[in-house]
Amino acid sequence: MILQLDQLAVLVRETSILVAIYGIYVLSLNLEAGYLGLPQFGKVMFLALGGIAVGGIATKIALLIYGRAISANLGISPLSNLGTYCSTYQYQTIDIINNIFAKSPFEGIIFFLMAVVLAAILGGVFGVLMAGPALRLREDYLGIFLLVSAEMVRVVSTYTPEVACGVFGAVVPDPFKWLGEWRQWAYLIVVVLFLLLSFVALERLGNSPFGRALRAIRDAEVAARVFGKDIVRFRVRVLATASALGGVAGALLVFYNTYVQMGMFVPVETFKAWAMLIIGGMGNNVGALAGVAVYFILDRVLSMYKEGIRQVVNVDPVFFQYIIFGIIIILVLMYRPQGIIGEKPAKTLKRRILTKLQRGA
């Protein structure tokens, strides 16, 4: 199979965008699961909250702000009759907002930033809410609790049309409309910027005394307590930070699709992140990113050979992909539990570099 050059560029671009978005998502999971050892089986909840923040809240704010232009053009007021808006007028209405953004980059960027901040706040607040149970419950029960809570968020938000147009899904204004055909390339830069920012922040956090305390709590909670570490505060902070980042990842994912349907936030999204983290290496930010990259590269390579497989066995090749991923997860857990890039070597190296840098400064 030979790809044209521009096709290849598009493939690389789209994959890179997804790698960057999931990178943020998995990095935030790594902070909770890798550093603190939390069985976060409800991670998708924070993607969903990002979706709510963008598709539910920010879009409604845009509808409110540009309400005059919308009613002048279409003769409807979406917010007073959400039912008909969701079922009939979404695309036309969002087109009007998009036209405004196409002319005014400033408004688009403000809208984007507002939505992302909203997602971070919403995610962070829910993260703090989850901290209560996280302190009380044992590992297995906590895993189930988080899983069920995520399902609760999905069910309630999917079947409440007021949140994000329910089963219709919410169309989201495109804040980068003014870039025209360069939109996707620009979006790639934006998400990579976000990824770099979170990576640097988490890397510094992980190698700081704070991060070392997290590892101490994970490995020997009693000992950490003896040394005067306030475990409650650490957990609350970690959950708040990681959940806010998860919300940001959700917002970026929604802006990538410029559409959100709350039903898409099923538990599999949580486990996808876990699979990436396990493959890459828990407790190591570089490992987490490597896992994301490996996952998506494998995914793309396998999907390229789909047709070939179909000619051999007449079944949907996507299921072979599931089997391969399942087996990889199990094999990594059995034979290389530390992942591609394990926790320890990277950490000591990083710390040494950091101390050198500190001495230099």
Partner 1 sequence: MDILSVVDYQTVFRAIILSNIYALMALGLNLTYITTKIPSFAHGDLATIGAYTSYLTLAFLVIPLGLPANVYTTFPIAALVAGATAWLTYVAVFRPMIRRGASITSLMIASFGIHYVLFAIVAIIADYVQNTYKVLSRNILLSRWEYVWPGTDFLTSSLINTTIAVAVVTALLYLLLYKTRYGIVMRASIDNLYLARAVGINVERVFAVAWILIGAVTGIAGIYLAMFYTMTEELGWLRLALVFVASVVGGLSNIYGAVLGGYVVGLSTVLGAAYILRPLGVPTEFQLAIPFAFVIAILLFAPQGLAGVISNLVQRGRK
Please report how close the Cβ of residue 45 comes to partner 1 at its closest, in angstroms.
Answer: 12
Query: Which residue in 323, 358, 359, 360 binds partner 1 (CB under 8 A)?
Result: 323
Binding segment for partner 1 among 45-53, 64-72, 80-88, 318-326 (CB under 8 A)? 318-326
230 touching partner 1, by CB under 8 A = no
Residues 6+ apart with CB under 8 A from 40: 29, 32, 33, 146, 242, 270
Q: What is the DSSP letter of 54?
A: I
Q: What letters, b where the CB count within 10 A reaches 16 and e where it falls short, cover 291-319?
A: bbbbbbeebeebeeeeeebeeeeeeebee
Question: Which of residues 33 and 251 has its CB atom nearest to partner 1 in the complex?
Answer: 33
Query: Which residue in 186, 221, 303, 337 binds partner 1 (CB under 8 A)?
Result: 337
Please report how close the Cβ of residue 328 comes to partner 1 at its closest, in angstroms.
Answer: 8
**Helix/strand/coil (H, E, C) string of 121-186?**
HHHHHHHHHHHHHHHHCCHHHHHHHHHHHHHHHHHHHHCCHHHHCHHHCEECCCCCHHHHHHHHHH
Please report how close the Cβ of residue 126 comes to partner 1 at its closest, in angstroms.
Answer: 13
Question: Which of residues 125 and 329 has its CB atom nearest to partner 1 in the complex?
Answer: 329
Residues in contact with partner 1, shown as a per-residue x/- string from 16 to 55 under the rule CB under 8 A: -----------------x---x-x-x--------------
3-state DSSP assignment of residue 243: helix
Question: Which of residues 179 and 328 has its CB atom nearest to partner 1 in the complex?
Answer: 328
Query: Which residue in 79, 189, 315, 349 binds partner 1 (CB under 8 A)?
Result: 315
Binding segment for partner 1 among 43-51, 136-144, 206-214, 348-356 (CB under 8 A)? 136-144
Query: Which residue in 75, 311, 322, 360 binds partner 1 (CB under 8 A)?
Result: 322
Binding segment for partner 1 among 85-93, 95-103, 223-231, 317-325 (CB under 8 A)? 317-325
Closest CA to 253 of 6, 16, 21, 8: 21
Rg (CA), the chain: 22
How far apart, in whole angstroms, are the C-alpha atoms of residue 204 and residue 210?
Answer: 9
Q: Which two tokens stand for residue 235?
A: 């957990």
> What residues between 137 and 166 interact with partner 1 by CB under 8 A?
137-141, 143-145, 147-149, 151-152, 155-156, 158-159
How far apart, in whole angstroms, are the C-alpha atoms of residue 57 and residue 157?
Answer: 12
Residues in contact with partner 1, shown as a per-residue x/- string from 262 to 291 under the rule CB under 8 A: -----x---x--xx--x-------------
3-state DSSP assignment of residue 342: coil
Query: Which residue in 112, 234, 265, 325 binds partner 1 (CB under 8 A)?
Result: 325
Report yes or no: 256 and 187 within 8 Å, Cβ to Cβ: yes
> What residues between 50 and 79 interact with partner 1 by CB under 8 A?
none
Closest CA to 258 of 98, 107, 113, 114: 98
Question: Which of residues 142 and 224 has its CB atom nearest to partner 1 in the complex?
Answer: 142
Give the Cα-Cα-Cα angle 348, 246, 122 (nearest 5 degrees).
135
320 touching partner 1, by CB under 8 A = yes
Q: What is the residue whose two structure tokens read 């044209």?
A: 4
Binding segment for partner 1 among 119-127, 131-139, 173-181, 344-352 (CB under 8 A)? 131-139
β-strand pairing of 259-260 with 170-171: antiparallel
Residues that bind partner 1 (rule: CB under 8 A) add up to a total of: 47
Q: What CA–CA distances, in Å, run from 41 to 141, 145, 216, 271, 330?
A: 11, 8, 22, 7, 17
313 touching partner 1, by CB under 8 A = yes
305 touching partner 1, by CB under 8 A = no
Q: What are phi and psi of 118, to 5 degrees?
A: -60, -45
Amino acid at the residue 100: I
Binding segment for partner 1 among 56-64, 121-129, 283-291, 322-330 (CB under 8 A)? 322-330
Give contact residues for partner 1 (rule: CB under 8 A). Answer: 33, 37, 39, 41, 132-133, 136-141, 143-145, 147-149, 151-152, 155-156, 158-159, 267, 271, 274-275, 278, 313-316, 319-323, 325-330, 333-334, 337
